Structure 1
Amino acid sequence: MSRIDAATLADLAAQANRAPSVHNTQPARFALDEEGRILIAADLSRHLAVGDPTGRDMGLSCGAALEGMVMALAARGIRVLVDDLWEADTRSWRPGYRLAARLTPAGEASPSSLADWTEKRFTWRGRFSAATPEALADLERWAVEADDITFAGGPDALAFIAALNDGASLSVMRERAFRDELVAWIRLTPAHAAYAFDGLNLDALRMGRLEGAVAGGVLASPLFDLADRLGLGKTLVAEAGKTMTAAACLLFHRPEGESPVVSGRAFYRFWLGLTRFGFAGWPMAVLADVPSASETLLQRFPLPQGHRLINVLRVGPAPITLAKYRLPARDLVLG
């Protein structure tokens, strides 16, 4: 088997980076070591210190990119052995980076059927179109048969989750430091230097320029606190109307104590899996991140014993397909 060179790694990295990441921060970086193995590391400059204090979401994001790399290699007929390096918390390899995984070529592989859906997967933050009964039945059957997905469907379940999500979102948005960090990753004008590359831009947020300017002005200033004191905070963050258009919500959970890199790999497969049925997804991460919200949610939708909630996706058909905004390959590879 021929060694992977720098040009090939850049192409593979671009394919791997189609994976989802928290706030579209795209923290995974790729390098070759002296033995021709692929190293995946987290760029710590992209860590969300306020929203992700433990680094779990960064680990999940790197895990998703790792799964993308495994699929990209398999498409070239290359099988790899994966060493999960996240728990070792190695930061001495290179300043500003934390090693996440090492991939060692180990024979031949067949392409993954999920790889066909990487370009079709995207986050939809608008109102969903109506799902056909057949597509919804296929989705529910798939979810019920999986051991890490809990299906929540029907108007009552959606209303319960929608209200819980809005309440949890308001609680975190009341923290000025969280809002400041979020705004740093929002690209509210096409003139922003990173508009087409990372973060959350107007297209991804389904906002017009005027709406984006107003949102940025409110979130990045004390105006939010003033509006909240006047009772308008809930209105500013409310998503319930859009959530109620979803076909269902899917609770994604994994074994307690599992490395976030492993969970991130499974999360990417999960999202690609639902994409096969014609569904887009929109995460409600606060339902997993806010303890009170998570506890309330799991009282109604219990998980298998020994599992922890990773994320909740509201899913449904999207009326259009959105482009992905990703960093160029040259920014993903470390020399």
Structure 2
Amino acid sequence: MKRVDAAMLAVLAAEANLAPSVHNTQPARWALDEEGRVLLAADLSRHLSVGDPTSRDMGLSCGAALEGMAMALAARGIGVTIDDLWTRNLLDWRPGYRLAARLQLTGEDAVRPALSEWTARRFTWRARFSPTSPEQIKRLEHWAVQAVDVRLAYGRKDLAFVASLNDRSSLATMRERAFRDELVRWMRLSPRHPAYSTDGLNLAALQMGRLEGALAGHLLASPLFDIADRLGLGQALVAELEKTMTAAACLLFHRPENESPIVSGQAFYRFWLSFTRFGFAGWPMAVLADLPSAAQALRERFALPPGHRLINVLRVGPAPSTVPKYRLPAGDLVLDGKPA
């Protein structure tokens, strides 16, 4: 049977960590147990207690990293069988971590997944998109029609509906001071921030200049937002409608409502890599899935299948440039597999 040692695990973990995670919190941690199996755990210090009270987004983030790990192993000819442990809520493996999955390395040679070549090219673009060619739209439409977990919203009427709903939903969420405080804790609005280049949402990721970032941080982390909102300026502060309307389309990603977040997260990473192939970047509008009223409005307009829940909505389109991925060092992603 093929095995992975600690040095190789660090390399694999760095590749797996190219996967998307909520607020770029990067909660996935890796270890080897005494039988040579790869363990995936969620670092609970990276849980968003306000924005993600049920830990579902953390599970989705770990699931995406798990898919990244499976692809990294397959690229080296190593297959795996996966034991999803998320729903067992295993918190006693070691303090501060939730055991999420166990990977048994198989003796069978694995074939490198076609999507794995796109992991380095996937990125989030939080600004206006470039114009889309008819050929790109055609390829996107053909793929979306074939996908069992995607609904395509495009054309000005559908885009305007999603864009307007996103702005209203964002304002409702940002009116919660606790949510804003938590968001600001994960924003890296100055290059002097000690975690600027490793995690969270920095100026480059947010497509902000230094002055804009400083103003945003001051506004969000103080009562000034509430004052501006009372003056009728709240919607203008969070509005993204004009940027959203430059997207080629919005993609509604849905999965069975009782599916483990780990499995949904694996599928989400494959979903994002799938449209990356067409030269598209993505920009999540997670609030549309998190806010029940918004999710229901989208369910009705775009006829989501019965028994499925909306996981996320991404506006997609060509980006004029790439944005670097800011990630934790590989050594921070690997744990000693022995329980404390």
TM-score by length of structure 2 reads 0.98
Identity rate, percent? 72
Residue 301, structure 1, aligned to residue 302, structure 2? yes
After TM superposition, give the deviation of residue 112 of structure 1 in Å: 0.6
Post-superposition CA distance 1:204-238 (Å, at most 9, x none): 00000000000000000000000000001001100
Counterpart in 2 of 1:74? Answer: 74
Secondary structure in 1 matching 2:255 = strand
State the alpha-carbon separation in 2 of the partners of residues 310 and 302 from structure 1. 15
Q: Which runs of 5+ in 1 are unaligned?
A: none
Counterpart in 1 of 2:177? Answer: 176
State the alpha-carbon separation in 2 of the partners of residues 295 and 273 from structure 1. 26
Secondary structure in 2 matching 1:78 = coil
Counterpart in 2 of 1:244? Answer: 245
Q: Which runs of 4+ in 1 moved over 4 A?
A: none
Counterpart in 2 of 1:198? Answer: 199
Secondary structure in 1 matching 2:79 = strand
After TM superposition, give the deviation of residue 306 of structure 1 in Å: 1.6
Secondary structure in 1 matching 2:297 = helix
Residue identity matched to 1:268:
Y
State the alpha-carbon separation in 2 of the partners of residues 70 and 136 from structure 1. 30
Post-superposition CA distance 1:23-52 (Å, at most 9, x none): 000000000000000000000000000000
After TM superposition, give the deviation of residue 2 of structure 1 in Å: 3.8
State the alpha-carbon separation in 2 of the partners of residues 290 and 110 from structure 1. 39
Residue identity matched to 2:48:
L
CA contact under 8 A between 2:2 and 2:78: conserved in structure 1?
no
Q: Which runs of 5+ in 2 are unaligned?
A: none
After TM superposition, give the deviation of residue 201 of structure 1 in Å: 0.2
Counterpart in 2 of 1:31? Answer: 31
State the alpha-carbon separation in 1 of the partners of residues 131 and 153 from structure 2. 16
Alignment: residue pair count: 335
TM-score by length of structure 1 reads 0.99
After TM superposition, give the deviation of residue 298 of structure 1 in Å: 1.5
Post-superposition CA distance 1:90-133 (Å, at most 9, x none): 00001000011000011210101101000000000000001100
Counterpart in 1 of 2:276? Answer: 275
Counterpart in 2 of 1:292? Answer: 293
Residue 225, structure 1, aligned to residue 226, structure 2? yes
CA contact under 8 A between 2:37 and 2:102: conserved in structure 1?
yes
After TM superposition, give the deviation of residue 307 of structure 1 in Å: 1.0
CA contact under 8 A between 2:2 and 2:105: conserved in structure 1?
no
State the alpha-carbon separation in 2 of the partners of residues 308 and 191 from structure 1. 40
For the aligned residue pairs, the C-alpha RMSD in angstroms reads 0.6
> Per the alignment, do residues 228 and 176 of structure 1 end up closer, same or farther by CA in structure 2, a change over 3 Å counting?
same
Counterpart in 2 of 1:105? Answer: 105
